[in-house]
Amino acid sequence: MRCPFCNRLEDKVLDSREISEGRIIRRRRECSRCSKRFTTYEELRKKIPYIIIKRNGSQESFDREKLILGIMKACEKTSIDAESVEGIVDEIEGTIQTKYDKEIRSQDLGELIMDKLHSLDEVAYLRFASVYRQFKDAGAFMEEIKESFGGEN
């Protein structure tokens, strides 16, 4: 595997594990030249392309990188690191593959993301919810806090 930092082809595998119910192998690697670490994923190429049905009825292809970036934005300056975000996305992809047939509504995807963030970090959850739920004012935001966390925060 080519190092994304220095382009060398030699590396060593530090850790391998199956994810998404064994459909994907995650490998943690270290470059033999620059010693930087990176993660690779191996999966079968025969993958069903999932379609996201947006609120306005339009459709777009499921984009793992877009999902990672959205979650990373919500997780800025929190204790959630990039590896944890990748794990969240792996779990969400696994759920989509087992529960949905080729398409998923954006609302359902948003709920899956919020469920994962709610259990990890309150701030990341609220950041994501504020964009996803499009709060109109501070009162709606405060109501979300009360409903989600059972009181004043």
Domains of the chain by residue range: 1-46, 48-149
Q: Which of 17-21, 28-32, 125-129, 149-153 has the lowest mean pLDDT?
A: 149-153
Average pLDDT over residues 125-138: 76
Q: What is the pLDDT of residue 141?
A: 66
131-143 burial: b if 16+ Cβ within 10 Å, else e = ebeebeeeeeeee
Residue 131 pLDDT greater than 70, yes or no = yes
Q: What is the pLDDT of residues 35-63, one digit of tens each?
A: 999 999 887 655 668 899 998 999 999 98
Q: What is the pLDDT of residue 128?
A: 87
| CA-wise closest residue to 80 among 31, 113, 36 | 113
* Chain CA centroid to CA 89, Å: 3
Helix locations, 2-153, DSSP H = 64-74, 82-99, 106-120, 122-132, 138-149
Place of tokens 């339009």: 58
pTM above 0.75, yes or no: no
